[in-house]
Amino acid sequence: MSFEICRAIRADHPSLAGHFPGAPIVPGVVILDEVAAALAEWRENCHLTGIRAAKFVLPLEPEQPFTVCITAAKGAKTDVDFCCRVDRRVVVEGRLEISCGAI
Amino acid sequence: MPIDKAEICTLIPHAGLMCLLDSVLKWDDESIVCTSETHRDPANPLRRDGRLSALHAFEYGAQAAAVHGGLRARLAGVVAPPCYLAALRDAHLRVTRLDEIASRLEVRAQRLFGEGGNTIYDCRVSAGDVLLADGRITIMLRT
C-alpha cells in the first residue's frame, strides 16, 4: 500500500524571499506540509499527529520537481513511511504518526 | 531586558516575514524562551491555503535554536556558522493548526547535546499552559 505524487515549490512561494535572501532554499517544514497534503489526498480522513523521524538529507531548491512517496509502515497501523526524492536522490525521508477518523 | 525582533533578525539569516519570533524573554547557556504572535498574521509566509499547520511549530523551534546559537556565539565573541535543520524526531502535534490559537506562542528550546554547529535541541511550543507541539530537532553545519 503506497501513494506517490509529484510536487514542486514555486519560486514565488512567500517563504523563499526570507529563507534566505539571495539564496532561496525550501524550508523543511514546507516540504513536510506537502507530505501532509499528499497524505490527506491518499487517505481523506487521516491527518498527521506526529513525526517519529524526519531526516533532511539534501536541500530542495525552488521549482525543483520532487516526488512524495508514502507507504504504510510495517507493524504499526498508525504509522506511515515517507520519502521525497529529486530524480533518485533522497531529499527528506522519515516516519509519520497519523490518526484516521473524525478530527 | 527582553531582546526584540530587530535584534533577533540580526542573529539569524532568516529575513523579513520569515523571521518568525518577536522577542527573547530569557536565555542562558542551555536554553532559550521566545515569544511570537506571527502565527495569526494573515501574511505569515508558511500558510498553505490560508492555514498555518501545527507542523510549522518546528520552524519556530528551529529559529529559537538558531537565535540561541547566535546569542551564545556573540557572547563568545565569534560569529555563529550557517546551520540548517537536519532532523526532527519524536515530534508530537497536539493541535492541527496554529493560526487559530488566540494567544501568543511561547517557544522554548533546550540544548540537550552538542556544540556550535552540531546540536540537538528539545523544542516546546505552547500557548498559555497548553502545549501545542514538542519534539527534538537536530541543527547541523551547512557545508
pLDDT in tens, B75-110: 999 988 888 999 999 999 999 999 999 999 999 999
Mean pLDDT of A95-100: 95
Mean pLDDT of B17-24: 98
Mean pLDDT of A58-80: 94
CATH number, residue A38: 3.10.129.10
Distance between A1 CA and the closest CA of chain B, angstroms? 24
Does residue A56 carry a pLDDT above 70?
A: yes
Q: What domain range includes position A84?
A: 2-11+25-100
- This complex has an ipTM of 0.95
Interface test with A, best of B20, B93, B99 (most A CBs within 10 A): B93
**pTM (2 d.p.):** 0.96
Does residue A103 carry a pLDDT above 60?
A: no
Verify whether the Cβ–Cβ distance B135 to A15 is below 8 Å. no
In a domain, A19, yes or no: no
Does residue B135 carry a pLDDT above 60?
A: yes
In a domain, A20, yes or no: no
How many independent structural domains does chain A possess?
1
The per-residue pLDDT for A64 is 98
Mean pLDDT of A39-57: 94
In a domain, A44, yes or no: yes
In a domain, A58, yes or no: yes
Q: Show the domains of chain B with their CATH numbers.
A: 3-141 (3.10.129.10)
Verify whether the Cβ–Cβ distance B84 to A59 is below 8 Å. yes
Verify whether the Cβ–Cβ distance A54 to B88 is below 8 Å. yes
Does residue A13 carry a pLDDT above 80?
A: yes
What is the β-pairing status of strands B105-115 and B118-127? antiparallel
In a domain, A77, yes or no: yes
Neighbouring residues of B80: CB distance < 8 A, sequence distance ≥ 6: B11, B66, B69, B70, B72, B73, B74
The per-residue pLDDT for B116 is 67
**HEC sequence for B89-139:** EEEEECCCECCCCCCCEEEEEEEEEEECCEEEEEEEEEECCEEEEEEEEEE
The per-residue pLDDT for A50 is 97
Verify whether the Cβ–Cβ distance A17 to B93 is below 8 Å. no
In a domain, A96, yes or no: yes
What percent of chain B shows pLDDT beyond 70? Answer: 99
Is residue B132 within 8 A of residue B54, CB to CB? The reply is yes
Q: φ, ψ for residue B111 (rounded to 5)?
A: -75, 120
pLDDT in tens, B27-73: 999 999 999 999 999 999 999 999 999 999 999 999 999 999 999 99
